[in-house]
Amino acid sequence: AKQQGRNTYEVYTEDLDRKLSQRVTLRSELQEAIEHGHLNLHYQPLINREGEVDGLEALVRWYHPTKGFISPAKFIPIAEETGQIIPLSRWVMRQACKDAQQLVAQGLLKGRMAVNLSPLQFHRPNFLSTLRNVLNETHLAPEHLELELTEGILMRDADGAIDILHALSGMGVSTAIDDFGTGFSSLSYLRDLPIDKIKIDRSFVQDAVKSDKNAAICQGVITLALELDLRVVAEGIETVEQHDYLMSLGCEVFQGYLFAKPMPLDSLITWLTQKAQM
């Protein structure tokens, strides 16, 4: 038993060492990717109840020269820890606004381009001035931009957050709470903060047709959102059944592989053009 215990320990530390060195490698490779422009944006359409495009969400992609596709779920948390999220986010914001403006000019985007924000980015003292600069440089009207924030961002410095949210709302930039329901926050911020939209996390959405508890959560969130005059989005819709069910609950906007996967700008332009001709 003793022997076994030691082996288990060794395996454990080796595993930990390997993970740690992977992270260190990833960190320096991410630095290179940011500097050499190896990051890319994909865009996923959001669909309203009539089946029309309501807006788009920008999602960052990293194609590693040898390792291939690396998921943002893996590198965003590392970038957040190392501070690399700051230059990364700056690039994402500028590129998303630039592409959004191109789509607006081509008559292909009437709604908003949504950009995911990181906590570090949102709470930087120069966040608002940087954002204004990007909008000026890219000529994107603030009415075409939406920022997606997590509950964690708002909880980190609630007083600071409220000032920034009011400033954004004054500018005409809208805000959405992402992954709603997965954080441990109080609901009072929905009353106190100028937020426009709630995105129900896909973990609730996808199981809503299988689990009564998840169905009840979706129903509750949608009712709450409508009562509070917030728009509500269901994330991760993959089946017609999920879509029908969320429709029946009164959900207003839908996002998921059932409608479209995130795609690069050129494919998106083709997709939007075809959709406009339908």
Contact (Cβ atoms closer than 8 angstroms) between residue 176 and residue 209? no
Tell me: does residue 84 bind ligand C2E (CB under 6 A).
Answer: no
Tell me: does residue 151 bind Ca ion (CB under 5 A).
Answer: no
> CB 205 → ligand C2E: shortest distance, Å?
9
Tell me: does residue 116 bind Ca ion (CB under 5 A).
Answer: yes
Please state, in angstroms and as integers, the Cα–Cα distance from residue 230 to each residue in 159, 195, 233, following that order. Answer: 21, 7, 10
Task: Decide whether 69 or 227 has the Cβ nearer to ligand C2E.
Answer: 69
* Number of helices (H), then strands (E), in the chain: 12, 9
- Pick the piece of the chain touching Ca ion (CB under 5 A) from 95-103, 116-124, 138-146, 259-267: 116-124
- Pick the piece of the chain touching Ca ion (CB under 5 A) from 25-33, 115-123, 184-192, 266-274: 115-123
Distance CA 126, CA 269 (A): 33
> CB 159 → ligand C2E: shortest distance, Å?
22
> CB 256 → Ca ion: shortest distance, Å?
11
3-state helix, strand, coil in the chain (%, to 5): 55, 20, 25
Q: Which of 47, 76, 109, 251 binds ligand C2E (CB under 6 A)?
A: 76
93-152 residues in contact with ligand C2E (CB under 6 A) are 116-118
> CB 93 → ligand C2E: shortest distance, Å?
8
Contact (Cβ atoms closer than 8 angstroms) between residue 243 and residue 237? yes
Tokens of 119: 């906590």
**Which of helix, strand or coil describes residue 118?**
coil
Task: Decide whether 135 or 180 has the Cβ nearer to ligand C2E.
Answer: 180
12-51 residues in contact with ligand C2E (CB under 6 A) are 44
Please state, in angstroms and as integers, the Cα–Cα distance from residue 114 to each residue in 143, 149, 161, 215, 259, following that order. Answer: 11, 10, 18, 26, 17
> CB 179 → Ca ion: shortest distance, Å?
4
Contact (Cβ atoms closer than 8 angstroms) between residue 228 and residue 191? yes
Tell me: does residue 179 bind Ca ion (CB under 5 A).
Answer: yes
* Strand duo 53-64 + 68-70: pairing: antiparallel
Tokens of 96: 């998303």
> CB 166 → ligand C2E: shortest distance, Å?
22
**Which of helix, strand or coil describes residue 178?**
strand
Tell me: does residue 175 bind Ca ion (CB under 5 A).
Answer: no
Q: Which of 26, 53, 92, 109 binds ligand C2E (CB under 6 A)?
A: 92
Residues that bind Ca ion (CB under 5 A): 116, 148, 178-179, 235
Residues that bind ligand C2E (CB under 6 A): 44, 59-60, 71-73, 76, 92, 116-118, 178-179, 202, 236-238, 255-257, 262
